[in-house]
Structure 1
Amino acid sequence: MTLENFKITLSDAEPPLHWNVLLQALWYDAKGDWDAAHDIAQSQEGTQLYDRLHAYLHRKEGDNWNANYWYTRAKAKMPSVSLEKEWESLVIAFQNN
């Protein structure tokens, strides 16, 4: 799946059920449902990919202190790119999980 194919699904009412939950979370986030995305991130706390998702969501929320906590748990640094670029990189990264 390409990033463009992912974005095309944003006109749908629900994310594709065959996607992993990390991609589903990013889909919900793109649709403006931060809470649904955050619920997914919290569902598997302690796994590096979920912590990375959690970090992005708190960065998007504007809670940089909390975001930094989750980036550290994910063994990552807060990116200096835009939120859109970070979201796109996560879509690509989460496709293989």
Structure 2
Amino acid sequence: MNLSDFKESIQQGAMPKGISVFLQALWLEKSGDWDGAHGLIDSLAGQDAAYLHAFLHRREGDLSNAAYWYRRAGKPIASGSLEEEWELQVIYFLAD
């Protein structure tokens, strides 16, 4: 699966089977279910979960909370568009 396939699955409204919890959360977020996405990763530990958590709070507009999660992830605060960051995260988690 690649970024294009992942985006197509969102347009079709059919989450791919067997994808990681991180990709599930990104799929839900892009489909308009921020709460569902956040619920999947809210209690997960580790830098990858913190990285996605940061993006979700940035999307929400809670930039101070997002900054906290970027620090936990060991990543710089994203400066590109939300769409660019979403795509970078999809690519990152597809390669995982």
Could you say which TM-score interval applies, normalised by the shorter chain? over 0.9
How far apart, in 2, do the equivalents of 1:14 and 1:2 lie? 15
Give the gaps of 5 or more residues in structure 2: none
Say whether 1:33 aligns with 2:30.
no
Report how far residue 93 of structure 1 moved: 0.2
User: Distance between the aligned counterparts of 2:5 and 2:64, measured in 1?
Assistant: 33
Give the Å deviation of 1:14: 4.1
Q: TM-score, normalised by structure 2?
A: 0.93
SS at match of 1:43: coil
Q: Which of 33-42 and 4-13 deviates more?
A: 4-13
* 1:73 pairs with 2:65: no
Structure-2 residue corresponding to 1:57: 56
Q: Cα RMSD between the aligned structures?
A: 1.1
How far does residue 11 in structure 1 lie from its aligned partner after superposition?
A: 2.8
How much does 1:7 deviate?
A: 0.5
Letter in 2 for 1:96: A
**Quick one: distance in 2 between partners of 1:66 and 1:77?**
14
Instruction: Measure, in 1, the Cα distance between the counterparts of 2:2 and 2:93.
Output: 12
Distance 1:43 1:26 in 2: 16
Q: Which residue of 1 aligns with 2:15?
A: 15
> Match for 2:77: what amino acid?
M
Equivalent pairs: percent with the same residue? 47
Query: TM-score with structure 1 length normalisation?
Result: 0.93
Match in the other structure for 1:94: 93
Q: Per-residue displacement from partner, 1:29-85 (whole Å, max 9, x unpaired)?
A: 0000000110112131x3100000000000000000000000000001111100000
Structure 1 moving runs of 4+ over 6 Å: none
Give the gaps of 5 or more residues in structure 1.
Answer: none
